[in-house]
Amino acid sequence: MSKQLNVALIGNPNTGKTSVFNALTGLNQKVGNYPGITVDKKQGICKLSRGVKAHILDLPGTYSLNASSLDENVVIELLLNKNDKDYPDVAIIVSDVENLKRNLLLFTQIKDLKIPTILVINMSDLMTRKGISLDIELLEAKLHTKIALVSTRKNRGIDELKQLIENYKTISTQACLDTTTIDEAYFQSLQKAFPNQDVYKLWLVITQDANFGKINRQELDVSKFKTKSNQELKRLQQKEAIKRYQFINTILKEGQTIDRSKATDLRSKLDRLLIHKVWGYVIFFVILLTIFQAIYDWATVPMDLIDTTFASLAEWVKNTFPGGGMVTDLVAEGIVSGIGGIVIFIPQIAFLFLFISILEESGYMSRVVFLMDRVMRRFGLSGKSLVPLISGTACAIPAVMATRNIENWKERLITILVVPFTTCSARLPVYLIIIALVIPEGSIIGLNYQALVLMALYLLGFGMAILSAYILDRILKTKHKTFFVVEMPNYKLPLLKNVIITVIEKTKTFVFEAGKIILAISIILWVLASYGPGDKFNNAESYVETSATQSTFERDDQIAAFKLEHSYIGIVGKTIEPLIKPLGYDWKVGIGLVASFAAREVFVGTLATIYSVGSANEGENIDTIKTKMANETYADGTKVFTLASGISLLLFYAFAMQCMSTLAIVKRETKSWKWPILQLIGMTAIAYICALIAFQFLK
C-alpha cells in the first residue's frame, strides 16, 4: 500500500486527544493554520508497518457536530467536504473512560457520516481504581466499530491502535441509529429533493446554517431547501440529541458497569482549595512567583555559557576567516552577533514553556480560568477571554486566534484588542537583558530582585489588559448575555512525553520563526551600518580628532563609532532621536525600536549588531552584548542604560504594540484595518506616556 492514509483525530476537550496525538506522531508533527480560517491545526506523520504512513490531523476539540464557534466549525467543514485534501480515510474518536456517555454523542454523529470510525477509550489505566469495567466485544458490536483501550501514561494500546488504523477498511461504516425518525415527513422531503445525497449530511449542512451561518460547501448546496424556520430546526436538533442519548444509555447499561464505592473525593477536596475565593488567588500568586524565580535561577548557567560561546565564536571568525574584509565582518558582526542575541534566551523561554505545559497537563490551568472569571466579568470580558489572555504569554498571534470560541462579537473584539498587552515570549529577551542591566542582583526574603521585577512586568501587562477592557466595555456598551462554561478535567500527573514535546516544539517554533526575521534584519542592519552617504562616512579618519596618548584600539573605536553615527542606519536613528530623547533613549536604542517593529525580540539582536559594528576592537576579548550595553555612554560620559532609562524602556515594551504580525492577524480576524490601526495608535500612545513619566520621575 503506497497511498498515505488521512486520519482525523477528533474528540471532546480534555479527553487526552493531545496525548494520543503525541503518542502516534512523536516529534514528527507541525502546527499550521486551516486555509482561510485562523485556527491552529496540528498534523503529524505516524509510521505503520510495510512502509505505510498515516497523516494524522488533530482537529479542534468539539462536543458535537452542532457547532457554536469557528473552531468547532472547522471539524464539520472537513467532514462534509470529500474534495478536501485532508478528508479522512478513517476517523479516530478519542473518549475519556470516565465520561464515555458524553463522548459517545460525538462518536455516533460521526459514525452516521459513513466514515470508518475507531473509538479510542483513553486513560484505561484508571478503570480499576475508578471501579469501571467494560464489555468491549458487546460495545464493538452495538456501535459497529473497533475499540482501542489506550493508556498514554502507561504506553499501552498504541500499537493496537496503529493496527486498527492500517486495517481501517475492515471497519463497518454502518450508522449507529436512524435519525430520520425524529421527523419522518421532513426527512423524506429532503431525500426527495436531493436523491443522490446522504440524508444525514444534508441534515448537518442545514442545521449548521441555522446554528452558525453559511458554511463553505463544495458538494452540498441546500440554500433553496427552506421548509422549516431556524427555531424549528433547533427543536429537531434537541430531539436528535435526546434520541442519541437514549441509544447510548441502552448500550452502556449492558456494556459498562461502575462501582461507585471505589470513587475518591480527592478531586473535590483539591477544588475547594484551588478555586477558593481567597486561597485560590494566594496559591496562584505563589505559583507565579515560584515560576519566575526558577526561570532566573535555573537558566543562569546555560545562558552564561551561550553568551560566552557566541562572543568566542565572533572572535574566532574575525581571527580565522582568510583575508578579513567585508565577508568576515558580515559573519562576525551581522550574523553571529544577531543570532547570539536571541539564542541566549532559549533556556529561559524553554523553562517558561515547561511550567505552562505542566500547569496545563496537570489540569490546574482550567481552575485558574474558572477562578479568574469572577474578576473578568467586572471588567467587561467573558470568562472565555481568559484562555486567549493566558495563551498570550506564549504569543499574541495564536491568542488572537483563540478568541474564536467567544460567541459574543463585542466581547470577542474587546479581547482581541487587549490581548497584546499580555507579556508574550517575544518580550522576554528584551525584559531579561534590560533587567540584567539596570536591576541589581540580590534578594529579599529569598526572592531575587530581578525575578520580582519580571513578575511585576507580567502582572502589569495583564493589569493593563483588564483596565483597557473596562474602558472599551464602557465605550462599546457591551451587553453580557453569554455564560461561561469550562470543563474541569481530572487532576493528573503531567505526562513527561507530552511536556517534553510541548517544550521542544514551542521553543523550536519561537527560535526558528524569530530566527528567520532576526537573521534577515541583522544582515540588513549590518549593511546599513557599514555604509553611508557623504564625506563624513567615507573619510571619517580626517574628521575624528585623536591625541597622541590614545592607543591604536581607542583611536579605531572612535573612528568606528563616528562612521556608525554617519551611516545610513545612524541617520535613521539620529532622525528619530529628538522624539525618543525625553524617554531617556539615544539614537542607537532608536534603531532598535524601529527594527523591533518586525518582531519585539529583534531589539536585542539589533543592539548586538549595532554595538558590534560600532566597535573596531579585534583584540583577544570581544565583549558580550550585556557588557557592551552596560558600558555604553553619552558624549558627557554618563551611562545610556540607567535605572531611569531602563525602567522607561521596560514600560515602553510592556505596553507598545511593536509587532506587525499581530496587527496583520487582528486585521484578518476583524476584517477591517480600522481596529488594528486604532490598536497601534492607542498602545503606542500609552507606551510613550508611561515611559516618559517614568524616566522624567526617576532621573
CATH numbers and ranges of domains, the chain: 5-170 (3.40.50.300), 185-245 (no CATH), 264-531+567-699 (no CATH)
Overall average pLDDT of the 279-306 stretch: 80
Mean pLDDT of 586-593: 84
Phi, psi of 68 (to 5 degrees): -125, 0
pLDDT tens digit sequence for 362-385: 888 778 877 877 777 777 776 677
Average pLDDT, the chain: 79
Q: Are 571 and 558 in contact (CB under 8 A)?
A: no
> What is the structure's pLDDT at 148?
92
For the ranges 15-29, 85-99, 148-162, which has the lowest average pLDDT?
A: 15-29
Percent of the chain scoring above 90 in pLDDT: 16
- Give the integer Cα–Cα distance in Å for 151 and 415: 37
Rounded to the nearest 10°, the torsion over CA 326, 328, 333, 337 is 150
Banded pLDDT at 635 (limits 50, 70, 90): confident
pLDDT of residue 111: 92
Task: Give the per-residue pLDDT at 18.
Answer: 83
- Give pLDDT, residue 213: 47
pTM (2 decimals)? 0.64
Considering Cα of 133, then 135, then 136, then 142, what sign does the dihedral take? negative
Nearest to 4 by CA among 118, 93, 90: 90
Q: Quick one: pLDDT at residue 315?
A: 79
Between residues 619 and 510, the one the model is more confident about: 510
Where does the pLDDT of residue 579 fall: very low under 50, low under 70, confident under 90, or very high at 90 and above?
very high
Provide the pLDDT confidence category of residue 105 given band limits of 50, 70 and 90. Answer: very high
Q: What is the mean pLDDT of residues 317-344?
A: 72
Q: Dihedral of the CA atoms 659, 661, 662, 666 (nearest 10)?
A: 140
Residues 108, 65: contact at Cβ < 8 Å? no
Cα separation, 535 vs 542, whole angstroms: 10
Q: pLDDT at residue 104 above 90?
A: yes
Q: How open is the CA angle 404-484-397, to the nearest 5 degrees?
A: 30
pLDDT at 260 over 70: no
Angle between helices 158-166 and 17-25 (to 10 degrees): 80
Cα–Cα distances in angstroms (integers) from residue 575 to residues 485, 559, 593, 594, 620, in the given order = 52, 21, 13, 12, 35
pLDDT for residue 452: 87
**Residue 547: which pLDDT band, with cuts at 50, 70 and 90?**
low
pLDDT of residue 33: 42
- Segment 478-493 mean pLDDT: 64
Q: How many CB atoms lie within 10 A of CB 627?
A: 15
Average pLDDT over residues 114-123: 90
Percent of the chain with pLDDT over 70: 81
Cell of 305: 555559557
Lowest-confidence segment of 266-275, 327-336, 680-689 by average pLDDT? 327-336
Highest-confidence segment of 35-39, 183-187, 195-199, 676-680: 676-680
How far is it, in rounded angstroms, from Cα 655 to Cα 695? 15
Residue scoring higher pLDDT (660 or 191) = 191
pLDDT score recorded for residue 634: 75
Q: Which residue has the higher pLDDT, 483 or 353?
A: 353
Query: pLDDT confidence of 108, banded at 50, 70, 90?
Result: very high
Average pLDDT score over residue span 144-167: 89
Average pLDDT over residues 685-699: 93
Q: Which of 13-22, 262-271, 301-310 has the lowest mean pLDDT?
A: 262-271
Distance of CA 4 to the CA centre of its chain: 29
